[in-house]
Structure 1
């Protein structure tokens, strides 16, 4: 059986990481600290054993959100990456920063007392129509500065 390998990083590519093995306790945290750290309504996280985790490019900046926890993010683009309790033998990875975020499905929710009261209605919202012309999407794709969803030998991309 092949060992699971998870790679990921920030939006600009300045910080990249790799975790070997299954990620433990994939969950969605609704606590207010996670909401603020993610700039979103919740933060999906899963634990990588510290011994199987490594930074492969750059170093994150750290914010100590409490006496127990520090949160790692890219100092260049601001992408939230890690929820870390330094004394533990694991580090939590922000699942949206994985190159393949669909590969890790949350199995639990935590701190649901802070969950948005209207989440149950999301599937009933109207869906925005696809644009008649792809001009805007083509312009974004042609000028995309986001790091691709895979490891690269160098970054930023070298323009010939």
Structure 2
């Protein structure tokens, strides 16, 4: 946590939400730390090998549109998502004062830096460092570019 000369926390308000825009939030954060959860429940809930999260106090989150829809993913936890577009948004224990927001749901996810792994017993090591793999930009993939241009006349922003 960062502090100014008066001892108060330096807070920044950031925003995020789901793909379709129905569920939106603002949250006060004091740092750009995030983490990757590799547990089997997160793998299944997110459809990937890990979910990137930002842990924050629940009282720092303001839902600027309706709250997410919740799924009780286990006897001890629930996951917030948008029922319209399916975007995973949160993970929390109802009896905790903290909540995890999915890094991908932030408007500016690039600001966050992973600081640790959780659920390490299920890490798929081959997927952690992929820097040596060939890369292709979406705006260079002609079949995708053609689909967008044929449909809306341009690439989406």
TM bucket normalised to smaller: 0.7 to 0.9
The Cα of 1:96 is off from its aligned counterpart by 0.5
CA distance in 2, matches of 1:115, 1:26: 17
Q: Does 1:52 align with 2:69?
A: no
Runs (4 or more) in structure 1 with deviation over 3 Å come to 131-144
- Render the CA deviation track for 1:63-118: whole Å, top value 9, x for unaligned: 11112110000000000000011111111101100000011111011112211242
The Cα of 1:24 is off from its aligned counterpart by 7.9
CA distance in 1, matches of 2:141, 2:95: 50
Question: Match for residue 38 of structure 2?
Answer: 30
CA distance in 1, matches of 2:97, 2:84: 27
The Cα of 1:142 is off from its aligned counterpart by 4.7
Secondary structure of 2:64 counterpart: strand
Q: Does 1:135 align with 2:146?
A: yes
- Alignment match of 1:73 (pick from 75, 81, 88): 81
Secondary structure of 1:57 counterpart: coil
The Cα of 1:22 is off from its aligned counterpart by 2.1
Higher relative contact order (CA 8 A, sep 6+): 1
Q: Does 1:85 align with 2:93?
A: yes
Structure 2: unaligned runs, 5 residues or longer: 5-9
Is the contact made by 2:23 and 2:67 (CA closer than 8 Å) also made in structure 1? yes
Change (3 A) 1:82 1:132: closer
Aligned residues: 146
Is the contact made by 1:23 and 1:47 (CA closer than 8 Å) also made in structure 2? no
Structure 1: unaligned runs, 5 residues or longer: 149-160
- Render the CA deviation track for 1:8-62: whole Å, top value 9, x for unaligned: 0000001001111326862100111001111111001111211211111123111
Question: Match for residue 111 of structure 2?
Answer: 103
Is the contact made by 2:33 and 2:113 (CA closer than 8 Å) also made in structure 1? no
- Alignment match of 1:9 (pick from 17, 21, 28): 17
TM-score, structure 2 normalization: 0.79
Change (3 A) 1:138 1:66: same
